[in-house]
A = this chain, B = another copy of it.
Amino acid sequence: MQKIRSGTLAALLLGSIITPTFSLAAPADSDAIRQAALKDEVAWDFTEGLTTEVGPRPAGTPQEARARDWAVAKLKMLGFRNVRAEPYDMPVWQRVHDEARVTSPFPQSLVVAALGNSGSTGEQGVEGEIVYFPSIADLQAAPDGSLTGKIAFVSHDMVAAQDGAGYGYYGAARRQGPSIAAKKGAIAILVKSIGTDHHRIAHTGVQMWAEGVTPIPAVAVSVPDAEQLARMVARAKPVRVHLTAVSRTLADQPSGNVIAEIPGSDPKAGVVVAACHLDSWDQGTGAIDDASGCGIIAAAALQVAKAGTPRRTIRLLLAGAEEVGGNGGRAYFAAHGQQPHALVMESDFGADKVWRVDFTLPTGNEALAGRIGQALAPLGIVPGRDKAHGGSDIEPLVDAGVPVIDLQQDGIRYFDIHHTPDDTLDKIDQEQLRQNVAAWAVTMNLVANASESLSAN
């Protein structure tokens, strides 16, 4: 067995599992809500509708605006209250088209997709010899100026993990690689897709230029194409690539959040926020990222409402512009951060089953965590050993000290699909989607109705 952290909360939660004399009976209302939620049709209907009728919805575009209109109409129809869009403006980076080919020694096309904020090559493209770096550490170690006139090619060996841990570690190649390559004089950078699949689809994603760096064209290469390039480089001939990655940047484009509520009976008890994001990357229809998250939280809130008016208001935050930097989450915090927030949660890691629950609650709320753990156990969900961290859309609230619970979804196949054209409805398993709704419904019900104050002391 691995080492167990000695924190009070972890000890309490683990104790409730390994002590057989402790009563595991969940409150009756959790049983009823869980059973009803396991028959839910709303999450699927929401996800199917948004991905079919709107499709891709990049931040700050007319498609994202259509998504807001769609969501406002849908949430009103479902019976939510105080449904509205909350607009803000933002700069927008837009892909025009991407194309790459090896020009020598083995001419053939490569599947690529520009990363967010990539420099544009213009229609004429750029061409150069590629310099291969097996990892971002190797790129970092290259001497300054050694890439002048060259195209950097950064690889890595990402492996799938249930908790998605590889994204943080291997994702550095995408997030920091372009700035490092630009500083060393590269005319462009190819990054092996931060993904765990073997399909000819490239995983895009945002990257931010470091202070003082002049943007260069920065693209993801599909995993099979990256392996192909590595095989070419291993043959020790100079490998040249022609890259066309045309993009444009627009100032002050409209984006916005969508808000919807189940009003609670006790306005002084604080709001429980359930978040997801409405925008998606442009290549797929954003089914697992994050239409399903929005479907899950909407369906779960309705299951809670069906069981009776909750003590606390449940507020859905369908954030805009998560993918490009969390603009929606910041806009929400700017508008509402001063209101009392009892707790926040976010669903933004696909639609596969929840397998673990993590808590960051003020001392004194151990009993609530225990009740939630008991209510989730019949769904195959166990308490973890670490704190909950939330996600981008609720990051400003979490940073401000609002309590947070994470219902951790299984991420084994998430990075097969993430930020690719393959993020489509067919990837969603309806039974696992319903398990998510059930997990969210029992958790939100216990939190929204908790007699505890949910504030420190």
Contact = CB atoms under 8 A, between A and B. Distances in A.
A424 to B, nearest CB: 4
A227 interface: yes
Given A52-B106, A56-B108, A228 B284 contact: no
A425 B227 contact: yes
Contact of A200 (B52, B108, B201): B201
A105 to B, nearest CB: 8
Interface string A419-441: 01110111100000000000000
B224 A422 contact: yes
Contacts of A201: 199-201
Interface string A258-290: 000000000000000000000000011100000
Query: How many interface residues does chain A have, given as a range?
Result: 35 or more
Given A52-B231, A231-B52, A422 B200 contact: yes
Nearest to A106: B53
Contacts of A51: 228
A54 interface: yes
A111 interface: yes
Given A199-B201, A200-B201, A425 B228 contact: yes
A377 interface: no
A426 B54 contact: no
Per CB-CB distance, the 5 closest pairs between chain A and chain B, nearest first, are: A55-B108, A200-B421, A224-B424, A198-B426, A52-B231
A455 B280 CA distance: 65
Contacts of A424: 198, 200, 224, 228
A426 B109 CA distance: 17
A406 interface: no
A358 interface: no
A26 interface: no
A208 interface: no
A393 interface: no
Contacts of A231: 48, 52, 425
A419 B283 CA distance: 22
A232 interface: yes
Contacts of A283: 200
29 contacts: A48-B231, A51-B228, A52-B228, A52-B231, A52-B232, A52-B235, A53-B105, A53-B106, A53-B235, A54-B106, A55-B106, A55-B107, A55-B228, A56-B108, A56-B109, A63-B107, A108-B285, A198-B424, A198-B427, A199-B199, A199-B422, A200-B284, A200-B421, A200-B422, A200-B424, A201-B201, A224-B426, A228-B425, A231-B425
A228 B285 CA distance: 10
A56 B101 CA distance: 12
Contacts of A235: 52-53
Interface in A91-125: 105-109, 111
A53 B199 CA distance: 20
Contacts of A54: 106
